[in-house]
Structure 1
Amino acid sequence: MIPSPAMHPTLRYDCHVHLVGNGQDGSGCWLRIEGLWLKVLSEVMRKAVGMPLPLTHKDFDVKYVEALRELVRGSYVDKALLLAQDEVYDEDGKKLDFGSFHVPNDYLFKVCRENPEFVPAISIHPGRKDALAELERCLAAGARALKLLPNCQNVDCSLPQYDEFWRRMAAAGLPFLCHTGGEMTVPVMNRSYQDPRILRRPLELGVKVIAAHSSGNSHFFDQNYFGELIKLMDEFPALYADTSALNSPIRSGVLKQVKESGRLGRFLHGSDYPVPVGARWVWLRGLITFAQASEAGRIPNLIERDAFLKRAMGFDDGHFTRLGEILRPV
């Protein structure tokens, strides 16, 4: 039996939801979809989430937020951790012309103020000249977490010059949601930074860390780092992982490892919206029944579909509520 929302008074979270915009309404966002693969993939994602407007439409930013808000309202989860996306910098703080999208922290805060369904996860490259100042500003504005994709944003978390940044995060109780494993939806700058072992330094300095995607592989020729993730979990009690994007063709392969890890209390629910959510992959892997897969396939709301599949696989209430214990209190 999959329990109904009414049975659970504690807030349930989707800990991995992307904010996206093209900036034509002054949001400060930008989109840069270059190359055939990213163009095809972005169109597949747009259609999968039911967004009627093209990515270049002047009203895209507003309509994206409105649609996402209604998806959260119509789902098992109560709130979504909404993610900003900083630009790419080198180790000396120089901004690089790289990446496919940008979502400023100020726009994130505006959207979260106007929509209580969303919880703000800022994004600050620690190599920025103003990284500490921006961190202080965002803490004062109510940041609850920080998100980075080291392999895509060129962040070597082990660099000594970032230590002060991590220490301030730890002191503030600001958790670090960090992409781990390979990536196919945005350009990758340094593949070596997808290894979860890059998180050792923030963990040593006391930062609570959530390893996104459970450190699984994103394609057939990619490495599965789940074993390394578990070793780090055993060493650092403040290390968690999320199950975002795991209802996808390749990443779903790590779900059985998660279920059999004996550490389910360290995993959190996330969808990775607007990444498409498929039911057939976990059915083919024997994690749900055909009837459950069929029912999931009839759910048009991707936020709800992903939550339904996690519950069908047997993830308990804590999988959805655990983020509330990790977020920075405000």
Structure 2
Amino acid sequence: MRSLRIDMHVHMVGNGFAGSGGWLRLNGWHHWLARFMVRQLGFPPDVIHGNLERVYARHLLEFVRASSFDAIVLLAHERVHDPDGKPREDLGSMYVPNDVVLDLADAHPEFLAGVSIHPARADALDELDRCLDRGAVLMKCLPNCQNIDPSDRRYRRFWERMAEAGLPLLAHTGGEHTVPIVNARLADPKLLRLPLECGVTVIAAHCATKSGPLDPDYFDDWAAMLAEFPKLYGDISAMVSLNRCAHLRDCLRPEIEPRIVHGSDFPVPVLGHRMWLDGLVSWSSFRQAQRIPNPLERDWQFKKALGFSGEVRTRATGLLRLADGKRRYSEAGAAHGYVVPRLGYAEGPHIR
């Protein structure tokens, strides 16, 4: 099987304009940040109030096809729930239903579906099986933002079912500033011990690094867990940034690098300025990478300049639950080079 070059941490964003059932609610800092991201990505300024899912998916598909990646994992976003499974519509800033990413993955080989399910939901196991049947490649959660305590013993059967199916867990660890925090305590990677003990392959997003100057830094806690849990990994998403990049070089240590997978955290902006200021990359490397208009490629080229090997972005091929068709990957989809012509978008249900 050919190894695929995968960005395994890309967020789908939508507002439910076309009837998906999703929603987007931005207030204060998060409203300003969303508008900053829209400008950075070159989207129409009024896209947040229009058919955001269609425009976002169309631009994202073009970014993938014009990059050196074969595929990305496109992530849904679950609602906040109480520990008893009650949805909290009054909390959180967005909801992207699983069917949005599942439909896009059905339509385009460049998209792999990362679903999001709160394990406290009354129908959590049924929804998990439904998503497995539709080809989900991983399950994503943000414990501190969705109010999920992975160590809660009530979720054991959910984790066991994931392990049985070979579905990995991508769990946010460390600080967070792009979506509202519900319970900051749940950012601790040590809370991931239960799913690991249940046999789940767990990828700690951001390697448990801090997002802001006042956040706890859990990187050393996560790194210490690697020796104990052979199925624990970390992704380097959002680490080409002003705060998280402090641990990027640590991720190249020989005892850590084999457990690193690549992710960008798109649409989070790629800002390599501190990497240059801290001497992690040269001025010429900084200028060359920062000028790349494609944010998926820009993020990778910064990491490549620091010393990450190509294996870091193909390693996910062996971790994701890829169906036979996705494992084989069509030659037409996989053979593209760094730049491809601008394509039409009449193929998929959400890209018309």
TM-score range, shorter chain: over 0.9
One-letter amino acid matched to 2:234: A
**1:151 is matched with which residue: 140, 144, 150?**
144
Match of 2:91 among 93, 98, 118: 98
User: Could you list the per-position Cα deviations for residues 119-139 of structure 1 after superposition, in whole angstroms to 9, with x for gaps in the alignment?
Assistant: 001000000000001001111
SS of the aligned residue for 1:322 comes to: helix
The code of the aligned residue for 1:301 comes to N
Specify the alignment match of 1:79 in structure 2: 71
1-structure distance, mates of 2:144, 2:49: 30
Partner of residue 330, structure 2: none
Task: Give the aligned partner of residue 48 of structure 1.
Answer: 40
TM-score (normalizing by structure 1): 0.95
1:266 is matched with: 259
Matches for 1:197-212 after TM superposition, within 5 Å: 197-212=190-205
Aligned equivalent of 1:39, options 6, 31, 41: 31
Greater shift in the superposed pair: 151-160 or 109-118 = 109-118
Asked if structure 1 preserves the Cα contact closer than 8 Å seen for 2:10 and 2:266, the reply is: yes
Secondary structure in 2 matching 1:34: coil
**Alpha-carbon distance between aligned partners in 1 of 2:50 and 2:287, rounded to the nearest angstrom:** 37
Mapped partners of 1:182, 1:43: distance in 2:
21
5+ unaligned residues in a row in structure 2: which ranges?
Answer: 324-352
For the pair 1:129 / 2:122, whether they are aligned, the reply is yes
What number of residue pairs does the alignment pair up?
321
Q: CA deviation at 1:53?
A: 4.1
Distance 1:120 1:221 in 2: 33
Work out whether 1:231 is the aligned partner of 2:231: no
Residue in structure 2 matched with residue 20 of structure 1 by the alignment:
13
CA-to-aligned-CA distance 1:154-207 (integer Å, 9 cap, x gap): 001111110000000000000000000010010000000001001000000000
In angstroms, what is the RMSD of aligned CA positions?
Answer: 1.1
TM-score scaled by length of structure 2: 0.89
CA contact (8 A) 1:22 1:55 kept: no
The separation in 2 between residues aligned to 1:262 and 1:201, in whole angstroms, is 23
CA distance in 1, matches of 2:165, 2:37: 35
- % identical aligned pairs: 47
Task: Kindly report which structure 2 residues correspond to 1:159-308, keeping only aligned pairs within 5 A, or say none.
Answer: 159-260=152-253, 262-308=255-301
Alpha-carbon distance, 1:55 to partner: 4.1
Instruction: State the secondary structure of the residue aligned to 2:48.
Output: coil
Amino acid in the other structure paired with 2:130: R
Instruction: Measure the CA separation in 1 of the matches of 2:316 and 2:258.
Output: 11
d(CA) in 2 for partners of 1:31, 1:164: 31
Greater mean alpha carbon deviation, residues 258-267 or residues 185-194 = 258-267
Counterpart for residue 4 of structure 1: none
C-alpha distance after superposition, 1:100-144 (max 9, x if no partner): 011001111111112211100100000000000100111111111
Cα displacement (A) at 1:15: 0.9
